């Protein structure tokens, strides 16, 4: 009991330390993070030498995670057939090995060793703190990729890193408490370091990266629960079908949200942030639109982009000049028409309907970031 209390205090201390490092960005250098985590791992190894007895089928789990890691990369690169590929920013070489591969390897191994030592205390509270600690470590690794100085970067940081990291660390904590850390380390090394060994990477939108990172932990968990969890009675076929149906429904919902929010497909959503359409579409409303550029008529409300800003205004006139469509627009609440015309290339889509008020939280966050900036 005394040892469990000590571990709990250590976990709380690590949460405070890592949260401070995250929010104040003390650890922007990955080599420093690697050194810090290695030191913590060595200290935990020195003070807590006794380990839990693990199951004997660890090699089977290793093979399963190897297969899932390959499937992860295969799915990721198959998406590049649609989105295209970019040249990797850090090509394999001595500099990449020193700056990225070695630090990431040390960080991953140290993190999993810390997880194993902290899980000596098998309480639910301790497991929850372990997930929080390891999620903060993930955030430290990626926080410099997204500045979080504006709302868009903040949402990417929140979604791509935090939510996906929570999903992965829930799985890793589950695996560690049953099968040890060897399989987790191999899986993480493959799915993290591949970018430094393959010269090209898919140009996959960040929302889809998030989706893949959140989907795979769930798939692995369901597979292991079905076939390899001997602590419980075998899952009935009926219960397993329910889990699969829930997974499919949830996946479809996530895909639909991603398609709408990313605005990269035929349909999209947009939060209204100005008062130019007040009375018809108010500030804080969310509009749904489709990318129908060929059937725009006078009086349609369209979404178009001008100087990297998306605008929602009504078409008040339409002209065809030299076989090119020109749309003249005006906000319903504006006294005068816009001082420019909108070409067909600038049109993003045509508004179908709106939902009132649900964009208010987004506007509030945007105002917070604008004031801070």
Indicate the pLDDT class of residue 172, thresholds 50, 70 and 90.
very high
- Domain-embedded: residue 210: no
Q: Are 51 and 119 in contact (CB under 8 A)?
A: no
Please indicate, yes or no, whether residues 187 and 295 belong to a single structural domain of this protein: no
More confident residue, 327 or 361: 327
Residues whose CB is less than 8 angstroms from the CB of residue 365 and which lie 6 or more positions away in sequence, other chains included: 151, 154
Q: What DSSP assignment string belongs to 117-186?
A: HHTTS--HHHHHHHHHHHHHHHHHHHTTTS--SSHHHHHHIIIIIIIHHHHHHHHHHHHHHHH-SHHHHH
Q: Of 37-41, 181-185, 257-261, 336-340, where does mean pLDDT reach its minimum?
A: 257-261
Over range 292-318, report the average pLDDT: 86
pLDDT of residue 329: 92
Indicate the pLDDT class of residue 232, thresholds 50, 70 and 90.
very low
Please indicate, yes or no, whether residues 69 and 169 belong to a single structural domain of this protein: yes
Please indicate, yes or no, whether residues 98 and 169 belong to a single structural domain of this protein: yes
106-128 pLDDT, tens digit each: 999 999 998 988 887 777 777 88
pLDDT of residue 233: 46
Please indicate, yes or no, whether residues 17 and 143 belong to a single structural domain of this protein: yes
The last residue of one of the domains, among 170, 187, 205, is 205
Between the alpha carbon of residue 212 and those of residues 70, 208, 209, 240, 269, the distances in Å are 13, 6, 5, 22, 22
pLDDT of residue 313: 93
User: Among candidates 88, 85, 13, which has minimal Cα distance to 43?
Assistant: 13
- Size (the chain), residues: 373
Q: Of 97-101, 211-215, 347-351, where does mean pLDDT reach its minimum?
A: 211-215
Over range 320-338, report the average pLDDT: 88
pLDDT of residue 249: 64
Residue 186 tokens read as 């191999």
Please indicate, yes or no, whether residues 201 and 282 belong to a single structural domain of this protein: no
Q: Is 97 helix (H, G, I), strand (E, B) or coil?
A: helix
Number of domains in the chain: 2
Please indicate, yes or no, whether residues 168 and 272 belong to a single structural domain of this protein: no
- Domain-embedded: residue 299: yes
Q: Of 46-60, 284-298, 341-355, where does mean pLDDT reach its minimum?
A: 46-60
Q: Is the pLDDT of residue 243 over 60?
A: no
The backbone region for 318, taken as left when phi is positive above 0, alpha when psi lies in -120 to 50, beta otherwise, is beta
Q: Is 326 helix (H, G, I), strand (E, B) or coil?
A: strand
User: Among candidates 265, 208, 196, which has minimal Cα distance to 75?
Assistant: 208
User: Among candidates 301, 288, 294, which has minimal Cα distance to 329?
Assistant: 301
pLDDT of residue 146: 58
Q: Is the pLDDT of residue 238 over 60?
A: no
More confident residue, 307 or 304: 304
Q: Which domain CATH number covers 354?
A: 2.10.109.10
Please indicate, yes or no, whether residues 162 and 74 belong to a single structural domain of this protein: yes
- Domain-embedded: residue 225: no
- Domain-embedded: residue 78: yes
* CA 22 – CA 14 distance, rounded (Å): 12
More confident residue, 207 or 52: 207
150-168 pLDDT, tens digit each: 555 666 666 667 878 888 9
Please indicate, yes or no, whether residues 274 and 146 belong to a single structural domain of this protein: no
Please indicate, yes or no, whether residues 306 and 167 belong to a single structural domain of this protein: no
Indicate the pLDDT class of residue 134, thresholds 50, 70 and 90.
confident
What are the b/e assignments for 282-298, b being 16+ CB within 10 Å? Answer: ebbbbbebbbebeebee
Show the CA angle centred on residue 129, arms to residues 166 and 58, nearest 5°: 70
* CA 200 – CA 138 distance, rounded (Å): 24
The parent domain of residue 271 ranges over: 267-372
CA atoms within 13 A on the CB side of 26: 9
The last residue of one of the domains, among 186, 205, 224, is 205
Quote the pTM value: 0.67
User: Among candidates 203, 201, 241, which has minimal Cα distance to 222?
Assistant: 241
Indicate the pLDDT class of residue 234, thresholds 50, 70 and 90.
very low
List residues bridging with 320 in a β-sheet.
325
Q: Is the pLDDT of residue 365 over 70?
A: no
Q: Is the pLDDT of residue 212 over 50?
A: yes
Please indicate, yes or no, whether residues 84 and 160 belong to a single structural domain of this protein: yes
Between the alpha carbon of residue 167 and those of residues 56, 103, 106, the distances in Å are 26, 23, 22
Over range 188-204, report the average pLDDT: 86
Q: Is the pLDDT of residue 101 over 60?
A: yes
* CA 113 – CA 34 distance, rounded (Å): 13
Please indicate, yes or no, whether residues 91 and 176 belong to a single structural domain of this protein: yes
- Average pLDDT over the chain reads 77
Q: Of 44-48, 49-53, 59-63, 217-221, where does mean pLDDT reach its minimum?
A: 49-53
Q: Is the pLDDT of residue 339 over 70?
A: yes
Residue 85 tokens read as 């590929």
Over range 229-255, report the average pLDDT: 56
Q: Are 175 and 225 in contact (CB under 8 A)?
A: no
| Element (DSSP H or E) covering residue 245 | helix 237-262
Indicate the pLDDT class of residue 3, thresholds 50, 70 and 90.
low
- Domain-embedded: residue 218: no
Share of the chain above pLDDT 90, in %: 8
- Domain-embedded: residue 211: no
pLDDT of residue 141: 75
- Domain-embedded: residue 64: yes
The last residue of one of the domains, among 180, 205, 230, is 205
- Domain-embedded: residue 239: no
Given CA atoms 46, 112, 17, 104 in this order, what sign does their dihedral have? positive
């Amino acid at each position: 009991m005394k040892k469990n209390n000590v571990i709990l205090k250590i976990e709380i201390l690590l949460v405070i330390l890592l949260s401070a490092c995250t929010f104040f960005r003390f650890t922007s250098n990955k080599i420093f993070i690697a050194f810090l985590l290695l030191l913590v791992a060595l200290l935990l190894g020195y003070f807590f030498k006794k380990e839990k007895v693990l199951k004997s089928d660890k090699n089977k789990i290793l093979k399963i995670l190897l297969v899932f890691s390959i499937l992860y990369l295969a799915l990721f690169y198959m998406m590049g057939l649609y989105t295209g590929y970019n040249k990797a920013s850090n090509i394999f070489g001595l500099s990449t090995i020193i700056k990225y591969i070695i630090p990431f390897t040390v960080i991953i191994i140290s993190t999993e060793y810390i997880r194993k030592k902290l899980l000596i205390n098998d309480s639910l509270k301790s497991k929850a703190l372990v997930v929080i600690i390891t999620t903060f470590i993930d955030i430290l690794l990626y926080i410099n990729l997204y500045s979080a100085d504006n709302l868009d970067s903040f949402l990417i940081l929140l979604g791509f890193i935090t939510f996906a990291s929570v999903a992965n660390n829930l799985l890793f904590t589950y695996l560690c408490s049953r099968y040890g850390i060897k399989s987790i380390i191999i899986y993480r090394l493959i799915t993290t370091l591949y970018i430094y060994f393959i010269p090209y990477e898919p140009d996959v939108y960040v929302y889809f990266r998030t989706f893949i990172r959140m989907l795979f932990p769930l798939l692995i968990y369901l597979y292991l629960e079905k076939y390899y969890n001997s602590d419980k009675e075998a899952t009935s076929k009926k219960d397993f079908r329910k889990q699969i149906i829930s997974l499919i429904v949830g996946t479809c919902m996530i895909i639909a949200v991603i398609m709408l929010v990313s605005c990269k497909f035929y349909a999209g959503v947009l939060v209204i942030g100005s008062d130019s359409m007040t009375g018809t579409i108010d500030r804080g409303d969310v509009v749904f639109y489709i990318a129908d550029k060929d059937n725009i008529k006078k009086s349609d409300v369209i979404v178009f982009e001008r100087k990297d800003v998306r605008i929602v205004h009504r078409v008040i006139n339409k002209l065809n000049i030299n076989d090119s469509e020109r749309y003249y627009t005006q906000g319903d609440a504006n006294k005068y028409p816009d001082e420019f015309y909108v070409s067909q290339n600038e049109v993003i889509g045509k508004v179908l309907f709106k939902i009132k008020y649900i964009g208010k939280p987004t506007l509030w966050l945007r105002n917070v970031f604008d004031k801070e900036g």
